[in-house]
Amino acid sequence: GKHANRAGVAMGKKGGRDERETSSSSKLGRYEPPFQETVVICGASGSGKTALLHYLCCRNTAEISWVPPVTVTSLVANVGYLAESNYGRDDSDDAAITNGGSDSSNERDKIAVRIIDYPGHPSLNTQLPTLLIPSTTSRLVFAFDATQSVVEGVSLLYKSILIHSQVCQSWKRSGKKLVILVVCTKSDEKGAKNHKRMKIQVRNELDRLRKVDLALANGGSNGENNNHGRNGAVKLEVTGKTIDLEHLGDDIPVSLHFMETGFGDLAGLNAVREFVANGTLPKLK
């Protein structure tokens, strides 16, 4: 609690009603700093979302190493702010901006991006799409634990983003694409898969879910040419034997970009930071 709030992250109590508890629509205590954009971090529970948030908002970049905090599964969103001056800024500056200790326009103008760490608890998955419309969110970080199965995370990606009619239709109307940086975390741990292998596993699991939905939708009738599945959901487009993550179809205005990082890999973490700060995609080796 206390360290997180000093360093730029507003933490809600698990299941409680802390006044700093934050969702897409609630206020952040006494003072919510001004921000130009919102970036959402989401993924399954345990995928490293909150650790990423702490790195983005709390770490002093003058430090040569960083140890992620111990986190627990939450039922409320954590919110942090990435300021243009976060590069090399100390904790006292962060405290002034986050907790309302300074009302100077000079300090307020430094705030650039609001970051929402959305809980990965399955009971909250249905609320995620309301946060991902273009009028609210600029881009998305989707976290996968590279040491674990992708099944739970892919289910969230598939149902709440890729085939969700509200998300797809709102981005299509905007004329823009929802850019998602898929971050495969914990890549420096034993048994971790690299981003190329993770991408294959994500694609295979998405294709499995697509086939399940197709079989349920057909139910004896041929709906292969229909662009919408059950309950109006958008369908992933397939031109070959399986889906192509580079071309999800005209009805799914989403672009996926994969990378890997460990929490001891400062170069990888800084690449995530660049994407959150200004949308710059990492250059992969």
List, for residues 72-113, the tens digit of each pLDDT value: 566 788 898 888 654 434 433 333 223 333 344 454 446 689
| β-bridge mates for residue 22, sequence order | 77
Q: Helix/strand/coil (H, E, C) string of 5-42?
A: HHCCEECCCCCCCCCCCECCCCCCCCCCCCCCEEEEEE
Distances (CA, A) of 216 to 4, 116, 145, 230, 283: 46, 34, 30, 8, 40
Distances (CA, A) of 281 to 104, 152, 171, 261, 273: 33, 25, 19, 14, 10
Q: Which residue has the tokens 């904790």?
A: 91
What's the rounded Cα separation, in Å, for the pair 109 and 97? 10
Q: Which residue has the tokens 């949308």?
A: 279
Res 104: pLDDT: 43
Q: Where are the alpha helices (DSSP H) in 68-126?
A: 91-98, 105-108
Residue type (1 letter), 248: L
What's the rounded Cα separation, in Å, for the pair 144 and 101? 36
Q: Which residue has the tokens 């430090």?
A: 63
Torsion of CA 80, 85, 89, 91, to 10 degrees: -30
Percent of the chain predicted with pLDDT > 90: 49
Better-predicted residue by pLDDT, 132 or 120: 132
Backbone angles phi, psi at 222, to 5 degrees: -90, 105
List, for residues 28-44, the tens digit of each pLDDT value: 444 677 888 999 999 99
Res 217: pLDDT: 82
- Once rounded to an integer, what is the mean pLDDT over residues 42-70? 76
List, for residues 222-272, the tens digit of each pLDDT value: 444 455 555 568 888 888 888 999 999 889 999 999 999 999 888 999 999
Backbone angles phi, psi at 246, to 5 degrees: -80, -20
Backbone angles phi, psi at 261, to 5 degrees: -160, 145
Closest CA to 161 of 126, 209, 195, 187: 126
